[in-house]
Amino acid sequence: MANPGPPRIAIAGNPNTGKTSLFNRLTGAGARVGNYAGVTVEREEATWRLGGLKVNVVDIPGTYSLAARSGEEQVAVRALFGLDGEPRPELVVLVVDSTQLVRNLYLAVQLAEAGLPFVIALNLIDAARKLGAAPDPAAVSRAFGVPVVATSAQTGEGIAELGAAVLAALANPPRPAVHPPYPAALEADIEALVPYGAAASPAEARALALWTLLSVDEHDELIDIPAAVRAEMARRRAEAASAGRDLDLEIVSARYAWLASHNLRPPVGAGARPDLSQRVDRFLLHPLYGGVTFLVVMGVLFQTLFAWSDPLVGLIESALAAAGEAVATVLPAGVFTDLLVDGVIAGVGSVVVFLPQILLLFLLLGFLEDSGYMARVAFLVDRMMRSVGLHGRAFVPMLSGYACAVPAIMATRTLERRRDRLLTMMVVPLMSCSARLPVYTLVIATVLGNHSTILGLPGRPVAMVGMYVFSTLMAFLAAGVLGRTLLKGPKVPLLLELPPYRMPRIPTVLRQMWMRARSFLTEAGTTILVVTVLLWGLLYFPRYEPPSGVVLDEAAVASEQLSQSYGGMLGRVIEPAIAPLGFDWKIGVGLVGAFAAREVFVSTMGLMYGIGADADETSVGLREHMQAARNPDGSPVWTPLTGATLMVFFALSAQCLSTLAVVRRESRSWAWATFLFAYMTVLAWSASAVVVVVGRAIGLQ
């Protein structure tokens, strides 16, 4: 049934074909961004003014085929066929990489088998000419029976011709006819599965049967597959295995045989230039040289991230502080003013302050991805990641966790399988993010003197490096455990295209960067703001009034306010649980306050010890007050053992509302956010308890 309103076109194709660049070239600015129903996979929609006709265009996530063994890979199938409430497109524009013609046309075979009307855009035609291997659009058109246009999204070549072909195809939809030579036994399997599929035409029913043969097995993550279909597939696969047949191989081989029979692969010209990508890969994929290059690139990336984001963070913090002061000046003192200044503005600040890092991280990663380099990185680290149940693509989000877990969790969108995304989300918060650094700095400076040593080496730097090494090892350990238990799944080989190196397309990188940042601010920010205001209320009420005749300075009043607030009461309630770790109720209040942001622990300690909320990790007065603090029995509160225990607790606990909110958003479930908080809290307490036991056994205090 036709869609009401303007005609709808889907832009489909393999990853790295310039599909999104072509989408941007056709539609210009102003794309609308949303998620496909039920999954966190972004899609962009925009309007294409095609002559006098307005056309709705949707950019479908890149896919190598219509087969799917994960829930998210169903997105392309749902969008192309109009399943599960998705509007059905009248036409598909299939974007093909002209430099990788035959492999890209595999998807065209599947579209043709399903009887979907489509037009082929032979994109990157300029790059193919430089290689002396430009395909012939006429030959491809004869093979598939659909219009074929040579294009370059980067230069604009062929865009007008593509528009004309789309207009003609909308008026008279092409009817592609492709019939790969499947073996007789496979034809029997297809016919047996056709009755199980409710499709609009015999071609679609046959295509759905082929999809089922490729996609449904005992290891898939697909949902809503009828039990009868699974039972029939189990029987078919068992019979095929007993006969020595491989269903997947039979289908894929027949399709490539059909492509080979049409001789579509362009001959390489005698004057073709040597492939620069292959020559560069000899160096960048070398186990030693490639690894060293990667470390240098990542070092420069994160140094740039910190160096460039710090001034922007400072500006945002200054602007928020000025806004708070302005509100406090204009409005009369009272609960409402405090709510606006310390709750709303400070709550917004706890979200917005992440924006510079998010923007810069996605900008820099966008350049590396669009250049083709990040695919090489995934290949390099795949062997190491597979040992803990992940593959190379998960390494970049984990590495990003050193800066901030929030954008790192958002970066898991690049992983195809939901299981891999969830597993990566569950371990990224264990990487020591920059928010933990102020806590480490304060604690190390408090419990270790300037001349202290560890194993004969300077104590403070060794302790700091040790915390980062410890957190990394724990992240890999957690991935190994979770990947073999709760998130157990089959080891999937890294099927990775190494695209040719090319200059990043700046408009595309900037667009993706801004879309991700805006999504974070509008969705995650609202959750964080609400919870931050609730936390403010816990630390604000009930109000403390000094006894009549007693004069206290502002810092002392603030300390008493925290002590007698609901948050302070909560600190005393949880004190029995944290006392075995050597923590008192003041540290408990700091742990509660740190949920808004880990670095809040430092300012909370400043209030608790009468220094003031402006205290930071470098405040000598705060360190002195903490060093002078005593337990009721006269023993010091802050000892090297207490410091080590607290840092281990901070390294492993999920004390970050921003992280929990983003996990909920990306997983579409509070259950995973709750599990993350629960398992990290248990892990933090248990590891800290081990530190206490071992420390006391070796004589530490």
pLDDT given for residue 154 in this prediction:
83
Do residue 129 and residue 245 come from a single domain? no
Dist. CA 433–CA 431, nearest whole Å: 6
Do residue 166 and residue 193 come from a single domain? no
Q: Is the pLDDT of residue 610 over 60?
A: no
Do residue 68 and residue 211 come from a single domain? no
In a domain, 584, yes or no: no
Q: Is the pLDDT of residue 539 over 70?
A: yes
CB 82 within 8 A of CB 55: no
Percentage of residues in the chain having pLDDT higher than 70: 87
pLDDT given for residue 3 in this prediction:
61
Do residue 228 and residue 112 come from a single domain? no
CB 494 within 8 A of CB 392: yes
Q: Tokens 């800066």, residue?
A: 403
Dist. CA 452–CA 38, nearest whole Å: 55
Do residue 167 and residue 188 come from a single domain? no
Candidates 627, 640, 654; CA nearest to 463 is: 640
Q: Please give the backbone phi and psi of residue 149, each rounded to the nearest 5 degrees, phi first.
A: -130, 135
In a domain, 649, yes or no: no
Q: Tokens 């007693």, residue?
A: 550
Dist. CA 409–CA 401, nearest whole Å: 8
Band (pLDDT 50/70/90 cuts) for residue 93 is very high
Do residue 232 and residue 142 come from a single domain? no
Do residue 63 and residue 96 come from a single domain? yes
Q: Give the pLDDT confidence of 372-428 residue by residue, as tens digits.
A: 887 787 778 777 788 888 877 787 788 778 778 887 888 787 676 788 889 999 999
Do residue 222 and residue 244 come from a single domain? yes
pLDDT given for residue 198 in this prediction:
67
In a domain, 566, yes or no: no
In a domain, 89, yes or no: yes
Band (pLDDT 50/70/90 cuts) for residue 32 is very low
Band (pLDDT 50/70/90 cuts) for residue 493 is low
Candidates 409, 412, 429; CA nearest to 421 is: 412
Q: Give the pLDDT confidence of 445-474 residue by residue, as tens digits.
A: 888 877 787 877 788 888 888 888 899 889
DSSP notation for 301-341: HHHHHHHHHHHHHHHHHHHHHHHHHHHHHHSPSSHHHHIII
Q: CA angle, corner 21, sides to 16 and 24, nearest 5?
A: 150
Q: Is the pLDDT of residue 274 over 60?
A: no
Mean pLDDT of the 209-229 span: 84
pLDDT given for residue 94 in this prediction:
97
pLDDT given for residue 200 in this prediction:
62
Band (pLDDT 50/70/90 cuts) for residue 494 is low
In a domain, 674, yes or no: no
Do residue 100 and residue 198 come from a single domain? no
Q: Which amino acid is at 395?
A: F
Do residue 82 and residue 228 come from a single domain? no
Q: Give the pLDDT confidence of 660-693 residue by residue, as tens digits.
A: 988 998 888 999 999 999 999 999 999 999 999 9
Do residue 157 and residue 28 come from a single domain? yes
DSSP notation for 531-561: HHHHHHHHHH-SPP-PPTT----HHHHHHHH
pLDDT given for residue 352 in this prediction:
73
Write out the residue range of the structural domain in which residue 233 sits. Answer: 184-261
| Sequence-separated (6 or more) residues with CB below 8 Å from residue 296 | none
Mean pLDDT of the 282-296 span: 85
Q: Give the pLDDT confidence of 51-64 residue by residue, as tens digits.
A: 889 999 998 888 88
Domain total of the chain: 2
368 alpha-carbon distance from chain centroid? 16
Q: Is the pLDDT of residue 190 over 90?
A: yes
Final residue belonging to a domain, choices 261, 295, 312: 261
Number of neighbouring beta carbons within 10 Å of residue 419: 20
Band (pLDDT 50/70/90 cuts) for residue 645 is very high
Dist. CA 639–CA 636, nearest whole Å: 7
Final residue belonging to a domain, choices 261, 285, 302: 261
